Amino acid sequence: MSIKVGDKMPAGTFTHMTKDGPQKISTEQLFAGKKVVLFSVPGAFTPTCDAKQLPGFVELADKFKAKGVDTLACTAVNDVFVMNAWGKHGNVGDKILMLADGNAEYAKALGLELDASGFGMGTRGQRFALVVKDGVATHVNVEAAGEFKVSAAASVLAQL
């Protein structure tokens, strides 16, 4: 079953790159007492993700902060090194927390995994954006196959 509005976010961990190397971050650390926008892409450097989704959040990061968002976080079923390289490529700086879900464990916990085997990509996370307040999903925006609308930064910002 997929996450829905009003659900508590499932427990889990991501990996992110720090100045000291790869570090784990728990969902408790990520969500507790904060307003977080967690958006997922099927893969770092893939066309729509790289040209539209990530850049949209980078461009509007200050507007999200002005609306009370504490953290913008991007996740993908990629390893921490790929997520770090993609963050550098996308000039995210400290605007977006780049979170690796290398084994798709969190995508599966959310019920938002995607079988991309037909594209040679294995199990991935669907394209989505969640607004989470103190660990509870307040907005759940999951894209239909092949779409890029409801998880776009401008669309999510308009909901806040």
CATH number for the domain harbouring residue 153: 3.40.30.10
Q: Identify the pLDDT of residue 104.
A: 94
Q: Identify the pLDDT of residue 86.
A: 95
> How many separate domains does the chain show?
1
User: Residue 13 falls within a domain, yes or no?
Assistant: no
Q: Identify the pLDDT of residue 122.
A: 66
User: Residue 92 falls within a domain, yes or no?
Assistant: yes
Global pTM? 0.94
Q: Which residues, 6+ apart, have CB-to-CB distance to 52 below 8 Å? A: 148, 152
- pLDDT tens sequence across 125-158: 899 999 999 999 999 999 988 899 999 999 999 9
Burial 49-85 (b: 16+ CB within 10 A, else e): bbeebbebbbebbeebeeeebebbbbbbbbbbebbbb
User: Is 45 a residue whose pLDDT tops 80?
Assistant: yes
User: Residue 115 falls within a domain, yes or no?
Assistant: yes
Task: Indicate if 74 belongs to the active site.
Answer: no
User: Residue 120 falls within a domain, yes or no?
Assistant: yes
User: Residue 75 falls within a domain, yes or no?
Assistant: yes
**Active-site choice (17, 36, 37, 49):** 49
User: Which range marks the domain in which residue 99 is found?
Assistant: 23-159
